[in-house]
Every structure is written in structure tokens, then in C-alpha cells.
Amino acid sequence: MRPAFYANRFDGRAVTVTGAAQGIGLAVATRLADEGASVVLVDRAELVHDVAKVLREKGAEAHSITADLEQFTDAQDAIDEARAQHGRIDVLINNVGGTIWAKPYEHYTPEQIAAEVQRSLFPTLWTCRAALPHLIAQRSGTIVNVSSVATRGVNRVPYAAAKGGVNALTASLALEAAQYGIRVVATAPGGTEAPARRVPRGPDTESEQEKAWYQQIVDQTVDSSLLRRYGTLDEQAAAILFLASDEASYITGSVLPVAGGDLG
């Protein structure tokens, strides 16, 4: 069942969500639209335009942008376009990232290690950097980064390192930005049930060995959760929207685990 939420918490707010074409990002963007936000959806997949169209058909104000946020120039252009839509960015939700390969560290190539960090750390670094001057100028704003409890997890060391970087970015940027009235926070999702991805994470079909390695991730994720289950997209979105809202106005620099008791 979908958790109850407060209607209209985001009335009049301009919110940008990255990685909004599917998964957690899609759930967050949809929920924000339900709560009155004007939403800008950013994703590298053209699918994001279909998502925005559906939201508009439901009566929401939604704009979509395609961008490769692993590149700073794309991130800067996307943030500038998002700001131009409403003249401000009240909330930035950084959701881009995700494991590309799942295997013990000794089996990663140097190129794969670099690609994992590029995917799960740099989009958040770049969008924070691109948005910060706008937020400083308006002397307000909230950044919610989506990290992971997989900073302590098997078969994805490069991804864990990248998400550890997101945690450090959150804490350090919160220190710098507080003087301008800007909050910087993060959630750390655990395993989350979601529909099959319409855009695959990796370039190749999984081998039987890779499927077995991924099953080890699933087993460890469930074992580490006190609730012994995966979470839902709505449970992840609820935590993100709470941190993005005025209800969390005295919270900054914190990373909230949303993983059934697994603290990562």
C-alpha cells in the first residue's frame, strides 16, 4: 500500500530530479508532482520525455531534459535550463547512479572501475557544482543526494567507493553551504523492488557466473536488513521527499539509511 503523505507540501516549489526516467527517480518525480511541485526531469534516456508527458496529462507542470550527467558540460547545461524554467531551483534531487557490473573486485578491469565511479559519483559532483552558484545567489535551496547502504556490500567495490564519495560530498558541502541558507542531505537506499529496467545498466548480457555473483548481493542485502526484505519505490520516495520538504528544515549534512535497519 502506498504510504500516506501530506498533500501540497511542494506547492510553488521548483524541483529538479535527475535520473527521473525510471526507478526511484521516476517514483520521486511522480510523487512530487502529486504534491504540487513544478518538476524538471533530467535523464540521459529519451524515455524521460514520455514520463514528463504523462505527468502533464495528469495536470502537473513538468519539463524534461536529456543530458549525460557524467559530463560537466551536460550537467551545467541541464541545470541552467532547469533554472530558466522557473527562475529558480528550490530543490535538486540527485538520483543518477547504479551498479554496472556485479563481481568480486579482482575481476574488475581498470576501465570498469573508472566507469563505475564515473556513473555513480560524478553526476552528483557535477550537478551540485552546477547548481550551487544559483542556490547561493538566491540564498536558499535544498540538495538531496541519493547514496546507498552498499558502501558496505559485496561484489561492487567501485560502486561502494563512489557512493562513499557521495556521502563525503554531502557532509562537506553542507558545511560550506549552510551560511547561504542551503541544506545538503542524502538518503542511503537499501535493496529496492522495482520494475524491470527499460534502459539496462550495463552493456552486456550477464553470464551465469555474473548472475551468481549478483545473487550474492541479493542474499547479503536481505540478510543485512533487520526487516529481511527489499524496500519499495514508495518507501524510498517518502524518505527523499521528507528530506526535501520544510519538515526537515533543521536537518543538513546527514545521510538517512532507508534499508530496513541496515546502516551500511
Q: Which cell numbers hold the place of 201? A: 545498466
Cα(109)–Cα(252) distance, integer angstroms? 37
Phi/psi of residue 142, nearest 5 degrees? -135, 135
Q: Which of 6, 105, 108, 159 is catalytic?
A: 159
pLDDT over 90 (residue 200)? no
pLDDT, tens digit, 9 for 90 and up, residues 143-196: 999 999 999 999 999 999 999 999 999 999 999 999 999 999 999 999 999 988
Q: Supply the CATH classification number for the domain 14-258.
A: 3.40.50.720
All structural domains of the chain with their residue ranges: 14-258
User: Is 159 labeled as catalytic in the residue annotation?
Assistant: yes
Q: Which cell numbers hold the place of 120? A: 555513480
pLDDT, tens digit, 9 for 90 and up, residues 98-131: 999 999 999 999 999 999 999 999 999 999 999 9
